[in-house]
Homo-oligomer: A and B are copies of this chain.
Amino acid sequence: MGEQPKRDLEELVGAGHVLVTPGERLARASGLSYLDLVRRRGFGDFPVPDAVVLPGNPDEVQSVLEICARHDVGVVPFGGGTSVVGGVAALRGDKSAVIALDLTRLGELVSVDPVSRIAVLQAGVTGPEADRLLAGHGFTLGHVPQSYERATIGGFAATRSAGQASSGYGRFEDMVKGVRLATPRGEWKLGVAPASAAGPDLRHLAVGSEGALGVITEVALRVRPVPEVRRYEGYVLDGWENGTAAIRELAQRHVLADVTRLSDVDESEVSLALNDNWKTKALRRYLKARGVQAPCLLIVGWEGASKHEVSRRRKETTRVLEPYGAVRIGAALGESWRRGRFSGPRQRDALMDNGVCVETLETAAYWAELSDLRDAVRAALTATLGRAVIMCHVSHAYETGASLYFTVLTARDEADPIGQWQRAKAAASEAITGIGTISHHHAIGADHARYLPSEIGEIGVEVLRAAKKVVDPAGILNPGKLL
């Protein structure tokens, strides 16, 4: 990066908030995909930003963009750095330099409207910090993706995040009532009412814009009271088709639990094997005695204002589950899932240390195509990877369809670990295209950009490019992402 933009940025945010040491730059150079981690383990190269800039408030973000536009410097918005699709890769496109715009200093709860149940949070607030700040007012977001501990409000909004309790609390986009964006063209605010017929809802253009159409600096979010009562339970359903049919009926009858997560047989087997103690042995015997052939674990969790409410909702859920032969296996499994639900990334590190290629990918489709989609992705992965453990679960159900979340484990090809996964991922993505969406909650980033035309059409891509041209004429915003 040239001296002039650096000086301008230092003058704006203070010299202590423009970081150029290798350590600081490396720390904001990529996200947390398997390939990111493989590259960080020395298996390949990855671009590093020329500087890390930490603005202190939305106005400073706006000014940073103006400086960068003037000097033709690319800007990669950086929150928790938990993207698994290359969303924070320090790509510079045709720019002479690129900065990581670290938003973690935007850490304030700006306002709470307890009547309308809306809180305005700054973009750099992490999941736990958001809930801590809101708890002071009796509220929570209820947004608990696996990235919860590190990811930020801005990142949740920019990527259309969905959390583990989104069946109850909604996807992040359902919570977003207003957005404040900094763009090279000027500040842009959206969201004047809970719902509107004033033309297209441009909140849905800002949400999911992945830093390419502006930097989200503040988000007005629908909040809910901190639940007084939580209840998590495990069930077993016999067979994937039977299990998804049950989830579908729950969704279509509007009696989904807040957390609803159904594992396929492979994932259930691994879960049981990983907890191979007297309890799971007893469980296996119990299921065998009940004639369960293909156990699919179901985690359901309700959160509510009172025991009465939770128990009423639980009754509605279980009434639907019963005819599907759901076997209740008690609260222990549900609670143990709840306790361990953010530990996936740490388990992955341990597996990678032991020569395992381990990654997740996800999609969603309408109910009628859901099993075809699962079969197609499994076949594509098996065809490219050979022997592999492929696990799948439904974690988000809707009236019209559901998500599928795959976890893949195979022996790492030490000669070409990057090519190994790229080929498998490409095959899975090709299989997904035409049946479901290329991403249910991980976003497009750099990794999925080539599949966007099949998702929204060439016209859709052109429309997004035209929108970008309006807000970002110099093309400095997150080069190489989304589009």
Contact = CB atoms under 8 A, between A and B. Distances in A.
Interface string A206-221: 1111100100000000
A226 to B, nearest CB: 14
A194 B401 contact: yes
B464 A466 contact: no
A193 B364 contact: yes
A122 interface: no
Contacts of A398: 194-195
Contact of A177 (B208, B224, B400, B438): B400
Contacts of A358: none
A205 B208 contact: no
Contacts of A173: 201
B400 A189 contact: no
Contacts of A252: 117
Nearest to A161: B197
Given A177-B400, A368-B113, A466-B466, A456 B198 contact: yes
A104 B117 CA distance: 43
A76 interface: no
B195 A162 contact: yes
A116 interface: yes
A317 interface: no
Interface residues of A, number: 84
Given A115-B367, A366-B113, A194 B457 contact: no
A186 interface: yes
Most buried by B among A188, A305, A363: A188
A197 B134 CA distance: 26
B194 A438 contact: no
A144 to B, nearest CB: 16
A170 to B, nearest CB: 10
A399 interface: yes
A186 B183 CA distance: 30
B200 A205 contact: yes
A200 B464 contact: yes
Contacts of A403: 195
A455 B460 CA distance: 23
A471 B462 CA distance: 9
28 contacts: A113-B366, A115-B248, A116-B400, A118-B366, A159-B197, A160-B201, A173-B201, A192-B455, A193-B364, A193-B440, A195-B398, A195-B403, A195-B437, A196-B437, A196-B439, A197-B443, A198-B437, A198-B448, A198-B456, A199-B452, A199-B455, A200-B204, A200-B205, A201-B208, A202-B204, A205-B205, A462-B470, A463-B470
Given A195-B440, A202-B463, 20 more contacts: A115-B367, A117-B252, A117-B400, A159-B197, A192-B436, A193-B401, A193-B436, A194-B365, A194-B366, A195-B403, A197-B437, A198-B438, A198-B452, A199-B444, A199-B456, A199-B482, A200-B205, A205-B463, A222-B400, A466-B470
